[in-house]
Amino acid sequence: MLDAADIAIEIVPMGGPCGAEIRGVDLSRPMSVATLAQVQKAWNDHLVIFFRGQDVTQEQQLAFAGRFGELGARKQAPDRLREKAEGVLQLDPKILLVSNIKMDGVPIGAFGDGDMWFHIDSGYSQRPYRYTFLYGVELPSSGGNTLFSNMYKAYDAVPERLKKHLAGKRALHIHEYKRTAQVDVDGDISDAPHWYHPVFITHPYTGKTALFVDRLMTARIEGVPKAESDEILAELYEIGERPEFIYAHDWQLGDFVMWDNLATIHARTDFPRGERRLMRRCTVEGEPVRE
């Protein structure tokens, strides 16, 4: 059955490779099944969707996100990395505060200051998150934009010789909670979170092929000599980060942005030191990814 809210919803594509604004929705209120289906369709089509001017509590955010699947719990970092992975205000295991704010000199959340290289959320784990939901609570005066790249388009742009060469191959994804540097994988990596995923994946909802490689966490192609792996990965990072595949989200207070973590990679631009930024994040859990 349609209600007024179903009719009012408006999808405004950003006109680029991905990204659409959805208007006419108040996320603090339960969404009808019909509207939810429209949102899911828009999400599959545009990969990154957002709602402006939202005023949602943590509970409302989790209730909405939970309509798209099993909510993700924060992945536990090993003890030696725990301080880098999360802050002291992480009271709900399903919420991650993305923030540079400190309380008595101690970070309240994760990801601190500055820019962040392109990555897949929890790409280093067996089940990378399916979806991420980020709500803007406090913003700096400029910068701190989130960039999203369409990895279906990136896959299409991979030269045929590489598509053939990499078919059936996996890559090592590894993370030690640095934001602009990879883990050195030449030594013992057993105590750093890592997993191997296919270089090309089939999206479980759309059936389309996506490039599944990012500069921050994808360190080595399995079964390929290091020098060649480095060369191929450099080429794949460049393809994944081409400006024509990127939508840059310029945050406004109250923005609620949600992205498909299997069909996009994302990064963050720098922002002025000393200015506060606070976002509330939750996720939907994923399944092991397949070629």
Residues forming contacts to Mn ion in the complex (CB under 5 A) are 121
State in angstroms the smallest separation of the CB of 171 from ligand OGA: 20
Q: Which amino acid is at 245?
A: F
User: Please, how many CA atoms are within 13 Å of residue 209, restricted to the half-sphere of its CB?
Assistant: 13
The distance between the two most distant Cα atoms of the chain, rounded to a whole number of Å, is: 60
Window 54-93: contact mask with ligand OGA (x via CB under 6 A): ----------------------------------------
Is 290 among the catalytic positions?
Answer: no
Q: Which does 279 bind (CB under 5 to 8 A by kind): Mn ion, ligand OGA, none?
A: ligand OGA
Q: Which does 122 bind (CB under 5 to 8 A by kind): ligand OGA, Mn ion, none?
A: none
Residues in binding contact with ligand OGA, number by CB under 6 A: 11
State in angstroms the smallest separation of the CB of 134 from ligand OGA: 5
Query: Given CA atoms 128, 132, 136, 142 in this order, what sign does their dihedral have?
Result: positive
DSSP readout, 2-70? --HHHHH-EEEE-SSSS-EEEES--TTSPPPHHHHHHHHHHHHHHSEEEESS----HHHHHHHHGGGSS
Say which of 46, 74, 113, 119 is annotated catalytic: 119
φ, ψ of residue 164 in degrees (nearest 5): -70, -50
State in angstroms the smallest separation of the CB of 180 from Mn ion: 13
For residue 131, what are the β-bridge partners?
Answer: 260, 284
Q: Identify which of residues 51 and 133 has a Cβ nearer to Mn ion in the complex.
A: 133
| Residues 262, 104 contacting (CB under 8 angstroms) | no
Query: Given CA atoms 153, 154, 160, 163 in this order, what sign does their dihedral have?
Result: negative
State in angstroms the smallest separation of the CB of 270 from ligand OGA: 11
| Residues 54, 27 contacting (CB under 8 angstroms) | yes
Is 161 among the catalytic positions?
Answer: no
Is 197 among the catalytic positions?
Answer: no
In the block, tokens 């030690």 appear at: 176
Residue 115 DSSP class: -
Residue 111 DSSP class: E
| Residues 276, 57 contacting (CB under 8 angstroms) | no
State in angstroms the smallest separation of the CB of 121 from Mn ion: 4
Q: Please report, as residue ranges, which positions from 32 to 51 form the binding site for ligand OGA (by CB under 6 A).
A: none
Report if residue 172 touches ligand OGA, rule: CB under 6 A: no
Say which of 113, 121, 214, 260 is annotated catalytic: 121
Q: Which does 218 bind (CB under 5 to 8 A by kind): ligand OGA, Mn ion, none?
A: none
Q: Please report, as residue ranges, which positions from 96 to 155 form the binding site for ligand OGA (by CB under 6 A).
A: 98, 111, 116, 121, 132, 134, 146
The span from the CA of 181 to the CA of 116, in Å, is 9
State in angstroms the smallest separation of the CB of 104 from Mn ion: 26
Window 248-287: contact mask with ligand OGA (x via CB under 6 A): ------------------x-x----------x-x------
Q: Which does 280 bind (CB under 5 to 8 A by kind): ligand OGA, Mn ion, none?
A: none
Classify burial at 206, counting beta carbons within 10 Å of its beta carbon; exposed 0-12, middle 13-18, buried 19 or more. middle
Catalytic positions: 119, 121, 266, 281
Residue ranges binding ligand OGA (CB under 6 A): 98, 111, 116, 121, 132, 134, 146, 266, 268, 279, 281
